[in-house]
Structure 1
Amino acid sequence: MAPGANPVKGAATAGDAPLLAEGMYTDSLKPGATKYYGVELDDASSAYVSAIAVPREGSVPGAQDGIGVSMRTADGRRCGLGHQRTFAAQGGAYPTGDYAERVVEPRGVCRGAGRYVVTVTRGEATGGSTAALPIELAYMSEPAVRKGTEGSPAAGGKSTPGAAQESAASRPAASGGAEQSAEGGTGFNDAAEVRAGSVKGSVEPGDTRFYRVPVGWGQRLRVTADFGAAPSGSAFHAANGVRLALSNTARGLVANRNGGYQGKPKSLSLETAPVAYANRLGAGLDAATKAMRFAGAYYLQVSVHPAVAGKVSGSVPFTLRIGVEGEPAKGPEYVKDPGEFGGSMLPLAGDGTVPGGVRDGGSGRSDRLRLVGYAGVGTGSVLLLGLGGWSLAARRWKN
């Protein structure tokens, strides 16, 4: 788990929920179980508590197994939508999860200060492994912005997962930048930082490679993963054999694409809406667009399904074509240093500020961003590290 993560034991009832401070935590969860955690919130900041469940190496989850996370007021009123994700890996087992959120809205039921309860629920293990799974929790707080600087939801369309492409006809083009060769990380914490351009790499079947891309206010991300031909002794078809996914700064899912793989060149693409603070508040926006709410790190994941291991020898080569469109715009004015939420990874402007108006001052926020992320789970668990299950099929459970 993440270096320095604190062990915590979630309670069986909301009234006994242990209080979490900002930071990283570890716990475990049995099939069908629910655990409760408390957070003390003010009446201005946004709060995100993510939960990632980590299947044990070699385990196969049941079809309804997965993890759900939600946040409620002390009297049981839900904050935001919460998220439920199944493992749904079709013969593989990958970490899965998302975040629960509290965003202060003028007439929202969760606008007040006080104690809130985070609920983490695991699905049923029918037909799969019944072992308790380790989970990793991250509580991150985003400060308020000055009234009148929130802006509007970004123009330019919604986030779209793109379509699997067999040719280069409609691939997103990289917006400048040199070719890069970077070995992706094994998780959020050690994700390799990359910029616009092309990135060459390779991934073993069952593995996931993580890359961190800085995206500023007003910018949008377009990405294509070109999977190359792999050495193979015979023809095969692996359903959902390759995957490209994107998560935001708070480890919330933005988009997930997967497609069949036959050992021949295959491409998957996605594109996002422009980043805007007000995306979180826009009525009628889809979840992927609402997730594009922070200037800062966005995490790409490139995966190959473990079923491919029996069909090819060695790793599968790929090229990421990354386009970051538009110049960084001025963002909202935070009342204090927003840390990882305010674009601290972006180049400084001429006046020594990051886009968003907060002076960097050599605060080392990029280092803090590295530390708050998820770590790999060790060499023996590298095969597990794909975000959010293979298909991240959404499933709602009654809490």
Structure 2
Amino acid sequence: MAARRTPARTPLGAGRARRAGRPRRVGAVARAAAALSGATAVARLAAATAVLGLLAAVPGPPAVAAGAPGAYDFTGGARTVTGAATTADAPLLDAGRAYRSALPRDGKLYYRLRLDAASSAYVSATAVPAADSTVSATDGVRVSVRDGHGDSCSYQATLFGTSRSPHPVSAWGRRDAAPGHSLCQGAGTYYVLVERIDASGASPDAWPLELATVTEPALSRTGATTAPGTWDSARPEPVGGRAADRAGGAGFATASPLGQGVWRTGVRPGQTLFYRVPVDWGQQLNVVAELGGAGGSGYVDGALTLSLYNPVRGYVEDAYAGYSGRRASAALAPLPPVDYANRYGFADPVKAMRFAGSYYLVAHLADQTAAGFGAGPYDLTLRVRLGGSATSGPGYAGRSEPRDRFEVTAADRAAAAPAGPFGPSGAAGSAGAAGGSAALRALAVGGIGTGTALLVVLGGWTLVARRRSGAW
């Protein structure tokens, strides 16, 4: 915010006039001028206050994330690595690092991990098909982790689903080092396998791939080894109130922070927006996405996809909304509060809510929406609710790689708070900042007019008061 300028006070009666026979009138002029100068300060203060009020009350156009549809922001400094066709040639992935690779159309790739006996390990693979690629509802990416004997530790597949629109999709594999597990325990070499699920009818191009590895330390003392038996699974009312602008990022690494509240942006067909929500231990996340109406005709199945990923970019769940030009919404199914013991649950979405940290909301508008309803941008509203109370963590015996991955800090909460009247708090994107600047300039002009009007009124009151007292 630009520094506020304080008007200099230069009374119109400065310097004593020496005209004979009219001393009282000169003194009255000086006093009136001083009063008028004070009125000027009051008027300008009132104008500034009016500008602040208008900025807070009048929403501008929704912020639109920069970048062309289909663009993806890879993690800065990510190493390039080539996956292998067999485990014998699999390249090593270090803990806490991000990598770039490529997944062939009909291929499968192996990577290697070196793990200790105590830490749990997670690997996510984000496939980024080009905007002009052809994909099917059953196409996607699958990730599995295997031990040195070839036994599977875990696997997960993530599909494009009903949208049938190319966009980044991510799946995760894991090695849980925990009591009660018999497979995949102990220190040694493990392997990550990344595969295309269904390439039939797809474009021949390879998909750019982002890999991210995270390790989670053991607990300082053993806790519960069964998932919580009950939790509130009722869907709460969506959060209400005035929406704050927050443009989305174009990748996990540049995801924009969101807290509880109502948020809006603009999204174009084929575009994918990334947000991160700090969710602490004991808190329960609920999200509804709404797509605004538009002119046109037809129907797009799965036009809006809302996906949730956990702090290690592990897939949690999806929600979809078809679109006919009228307002449509997609709501995530109820999820349990974040709890370390959720990893012992039965359902995959429950298992994924196993640690605190930044959970990622990824919204995609299907490319085929443009054919019936135009190039946009379309209004997108996100209603984010954080239920429950934050509690202390389970007590780790060491630290994660990357560091502090499973914590929510005061800085995280501050970045996720709603924007102030002079711009976003946190990384809301250059487009959002530009929109705010335009609104500020417009309202500043209005504020000048308001200040001028107040000055005239206050000056008039001063003159009337002086005349009634006989000072003039």
> For this structure pair, what is the TM-score category when the shorter chain's length is used for normalisation?
0.7 to 0.9
Give 2:311's aligned residue: 249
Deviation of 1:272 after TM superposition, in Å, equals 1.6
Give 1:236's aligned residue: 298
Aligned partners of 2:260 and 2:229: how far apart in 1?
22
1:265 is aligned with what amino acid? Answer: R
Deviation of 1:242 after TM superposition, in Å, equals 1.4
Deviation sequence 1:103-145 (CA, Å, 0-9, x none)? 1133421120011011111234221211222111111111111
Q: Which has the higher strand share?
A: 1
CA contact (8 A) 2:163 2:303 kept: no
Farther off after superposition, 190-199 or 29-38: 29-38
Aligned partners of 2:167 and 2:280: how far apart in 1?
30
Deviation of 1:172 after TM superposition, in Å, equals 3.3
Deviation of 1:76 after TM superposition, in Å, equals 0.8
Among 83, 86, 92, the residue aligned to 2:159: 86
1:28 is aligned with what amino acid? Answer: A
Residues 294 and 159 of structure 1, relative CA distance in 2, 3 Å threshold: farther
Residues 342 and 97 of structure 1, relative CA distance in 2, 3 Å threshold: closer
Deviation of 1:186 after TM superposition, in Å, equals 1.3
**Identity %, equivalent residues:** 37
**Is the aligned partner of 1:11 residue 2:84?**
yes
**Is the aligned partner of 1:273 residue 2:336?**
yes
Among 149, 154, 165, the residue aligned to 1:75: 149
Give 1:315's aligned residue: 377
Deviation sequence 1:7-38 (CA, Å, 0-9, x none)? 11112111221111120111112122121111
Aligned partners of 2:365 and 2:300: how far apart in 1?
10
Deviation of 1:229 after TM superposition, in Å, equals 1.1
Q: Would you identify which runs of 4 or more consecutive aligned residues in structure 1 move more than 4 Å?
A: 88-91, 176-179, 346-349
Deviation of 1:321 after TM superposition, in Å, equals 1.2
Aligned residue-pair number: 336
1:201 is aligned with what amino acid? Answer: T
CA contact (8 A) 1:297 1:340 kept: no
Among 253, 269, 284, the residue aligned to 1:189: 253
Give 1:292's aligned residue: 353
Structure 1: unaligned runs, 5 residues or longer: 161-169, 350-366, 371-399
| Match runs of 1:291-370 below 5 Å | 291-313=352-374, 314-338=376-400, 339-345=403-409
Farther off after superposition, 105-114 or 68-77: 105-114
Q: Which has the higher helix share?
A: 2
Deviation sequence 1:358-393 (CA, Å, 0-9, x none)? xxxxxxxxx9xx9xxxxxxxxxxxxxxxxxxxxxxx
Give 1:128's aligned residue: 202
Deviation of 1:348 after TM superposition, in Å, equals 9.7
| Match runs of 1:112-261 below 5 Å | 112-149=186-223, 153-154=227-228, 156-157=230-231, 172-174=237-239, 179-230=243-294, 232=295, 234-261=296-323
Among 74, 91, 109, the residue aligned to 1:35: 109
CA contact (8 A) 1:205 1:306 kept: yes
Residues 280 and 227 of structure 1, relative CA distance in 2, 3 Å threshold: same
Aligned partners of 1:3 and 1:131: how far apart in 2?
24
Secondary structure of the structure 2 residue equivalent to 1:311: helix
Cα-Cα RMSD: 2.5
Aligned partners of 1:321 and 1:123: how far apart in 2?
33
User: Which of structures 1 and 2 has the bigger CA Rg?
Assistant: 2
Aligned partners of 1:64 and 1:286: how far apart in 2?
21
Deviation sequence 1:269-310 (CA, Å, 0-9, x none)? 12321000111123xx21111110110101112221111112
Give 1:49's aligned residue: 123
Residues 347 and 4 of structure 1, relative CA distance in 2, 3 Å threshold: closer
Aligned partners of 1:142 and 1:12: how far apart in 2?
28
Residues 219 and 315 of structure 1, relative CA distance in 2, 3 Å threshold: same
Residues 130 and 114 of structure 1, relative CA distance in 2, 3 Å threshold: same
TM-score where L is the length of structure 1 = 0.78
Structure 2: unaligned runs, 5 residues or longer: 1-73, 414-425, 428-472
TM-score where L is the length of structure 2 = 0.66
Deviation of 1:347 after TM superposition, in Å, equals 6.5
Aligned partners of 1:70 and 1:214: how far apart in 2?
27
